[in-house]
Amino acid sequence: MTTVTTVDHVVIRFAGDSGDGMQLTGDRFTHDTAAAGNDFSTLPNFPAEIRAPQGTVAGVSSFQLHFADFDIRTPGDRPDVLVAMNPAALKANLGDLPRGGLIIADTADFTPRNLAKVGYASDPLTDGSLADYQVHALDLSGQATAAVASLGLGRKDAARTKNMYALGLLDWLYHRPVEGTIAFLEKKFAAVPQVRDANIAALKAGYAFGETTEVFANRYKVAPAPAPAGTYRQVSGNRALAYGLMAGAAKAGLQLFLGAYPITPASDVLHHLAAAKDAGVLTFQAEDEIAAVGAALGASFAGQLGVTATSGPGLALKMETIGLAVMLELPLVICDIQRAGPATGMPTKTEQADLTQALFGRHGEAPLPVIAAQSPGDCFAAAYEAVKIAIDYRTPVILLSDGYLANGAEPWPVPDLAALPPIDPAFATGPNRPDGGFWPYLRDDKLARAWAVPGTPGLEHRIGGIEKADGTGAVSYDPANHEFMVNLRKQKVDNIQAVVPPVEVDDPSGRARVLVLGWGSTYGPISAAARRVRTAGRRVATAHLRHLNPLPANLGEVLRAYDRVIVPEMNLGQLAMVLRSTYLVDVQSYSRVRGLPISLSELAADLVALIDEEDAE
C-alpha cells in the first residue's frame, strides 16, 4: 500500500540526452505544478551544441524544478529526486544527489556499450553501488512503447514518448494534475494526430503505472503556497523582458522596433517579440550584431522605441554604435543577457561578468544608465524601467539579465498596465527658439534634449558621431565645448539618481554587523541564504541593487553602517571593485564563476562562519 506523505518542498531534476525531451518534460511538469498552486523556481541546463554527443556526459541535458508550499527564491542546490534516462545522465548528476535521494532510472539505455561510454565498469543499477539511495530501475522506454503499440508508430518513434511516460509517473507521484499537459499536447501536435495521441497515451500510461504499481512505498503532497490575490502566469525571464519592452512602448505610444542577431541566451527575446507582430511590434533579424544595433538606433532617430538584445560577445561588437547613441542622445534599450565567457566561453551557462563592460566598455567618455533584473518575473519591471529612463532622459540604457534568469521560470503576478508609471516621449512639435528656429540640443530640466522626428517641418537638424556644439548641434572641434559637452552628458546620467529609489536594507534584528549586498540574479541565493542564516540564530543584513549606474544616493551611507560588507557575484568581483573605488569602503568579494547560480547552501555556511568570526572579535 502506498503511503501519502506531506512535504513542504521538493527539488526534482530530469536528466537525459539532448534529444530525450528533458527541457519539455521539465517545462510541462512546471506547468502542472503551477496549476497545483505551488511556488516554484526552475533551472534549465543544457549543452551548447545543437546535437550534443549522444550518450556522453557532455551531451546531458537537465531541467531542475524546486516547488514548495512557501515563498522560495532559488531552484535549489541539490535535487531530492533524479530522473535519469541513461547512464550518462546518472553519471553527470549523481554527485549532486544527497544520500537517501530518490533515483528513477530508465533501464532501457543501461546497455554494456552505453555504460562503457561513460566509464562504468558494471551496471550501477544492479552492482550495489547505489545502496545509499532509493533506486527505482524501470523500463520507461519499454513501457512507453507498449502503451502506444496500438497507434502504429515505429519502435524508434514510439520510444520517443518515454519522456511523457516519465512525466505522467512524476505527476502521479507528486499529485500533479495532467489536464494542462494533455491540452498542450492536443494543441502542439494537432496537425500530427498519431504523434499527439501517442504522447497523450504515454502520459496517461505513466500516471496509471504509478496508480497501479506497488513499486513506490510513498507518494507525496505539497500544499499550495499562499500568495496575494491576482492573476498569475508561469513566466521565463526572457518572456517577461519582452513583455516589459512591449508595455513600455505601448505606454509611450511608440512602435517597438527590435534589431537583433540571434545569440544564446538572448535569442528568445527575438522569438517572443517576433510572435507579437499583431501587437504592432516590428522585429528585424540582422546579418550581424553591428547591423542590429545600428538599425535599432535608426528606429529611435525615426521616433520609434529602438531596442536590441544580445549577450556579452554581441555587446562588445555593439559598443561603437552605443557610443554614437550617447553622442546623439537618443533613447535606446540594450538588453544584455549575460553568459559565461570569455570569447564563446560556455554559451548556455550563466554568469555576471559583463558589468564592467556595461559600465565602462565604450571608448571616450560615454556614460549611460545600467540597471539589472533580479528574478525571471522582475525582468518585466526592469525592462519597463529601462524604457522609461531611456525616453525620459534621451539616453541609451543597458539592461542586464543573465542565462539563469532568461531560461528560468517562476510564478508572475500579471501587472495592471493602467497602474504602470506614465511614459511621455514629448516629441518636439515646433520651433524652440525665440527667433523661430530649432536647436536640437536645447534641454529640459532633466538635461534631456529635444526629440525631433525626421520630416517634421521646421525641425531639420544635424546628426552624426562628431562632437556637437552646445545647443545648435553643429560640428564642433572647440576644446572648451568638448569638455562642456562631456560633462553635460555625464551630468544628465548623474541626474537620474533623483529617480533612483534609496537602497532598502533587510535587517530584521536591526543589530547585524554584516551586510550582504547583491545585484542581478544573486537576489535569490542571497535572500534564501539569509533566511537560513537567521534560522540558525545569526544576524545578517541584506540589500540588493537594481540601479548600477547611477548608484542610489544613500548607498555610501549604508555601506559605512556595517562592520563588514560582502558582495556575492558570478564574476571575479566586479561590483565589489566599483564600490571600493567609489566609496573607499573595504567591500569584500564573494566570487563564483561556475556557470551556475551561486549555491545558497554554500553561501549560508560561509556567512555563518564569517558572522561567528566577526562576533568573536
Q: Is the pLDDT of residue 286 over 80?
A: yes
| The pLDDT value given to residue 617 | 73
| The pLDDT value given to residue 214 | 86
CB contact at 8 A, 75 and 39: no
DSSP states along 251-273: HHT--EEEEE---TTTHHHHHHH
Mean pLDDT over residues 80-107, rounded?
97
CB contact at 8 A, 91 and 57: yes
Q: Is the pLDDT of residue 50 over 80?
A: no
Q: CB atoms < 10 A from the CB of 538, how many?
A: 21
The mean pLDDT value of the chain amounts to: 96
CB contact at 8 A, 295 and 286: yes
| The pLDDT value given to residue 53 | 83
Q: Is the pLDDT of residue 462 over 90?
A: no
| The pLDDT value given to residue 104 | 98
pTM of the model: 0.96
Euclidean distance between CA atoms 415 and 408, whole angstroms: 19
Please name the residue that has the C-alpha cell 556579452. Answer: 312
Euclidean distance between CA atoms 537 and 44, whole angstroms: 33
Identity (one letter) of the amino acid at 305?
A: L
CA 479, chain centre distance (Å): 44
Compute CA distances 264 → 47, 76, 244, 267, 398, whole Å: 11, 24, 20, 6, 18
**What pLDDT, in 10s, does the model give residues 289-348?**
999 999 999 999 999 999 999 999 999 999 999 999 999 999 999 999 999 999 999 999
Euclidean distance between CA atoms 355 and 371, whole angstroms: 10
Lowest mean pLDDT among 52-56, 175-179, 530-534: 52-56
Mean pLDDT over residues 168-190, rounded?
96
**What pLDDT, in 10s, does the model give residues 585-612?**
999 999 999 999 999 999 999 999 999 9
Identity (one letter) of the amino acid at 320?
A: E
Cα dihedral sign for 79, 81, 85, 89? positive
Cβ neighbours of residue 258 closer than 8 Å, sequence gap 6 or more = 245, 269, 270, 273, 281, 282, 283, 284, 296, 307, 308, 309
**What pLDDT, in 10s, does the model give residues 401-455?**
999 999 999 999 999 999 999 999 999 999 999 999 999 999 999 999 999 999 9
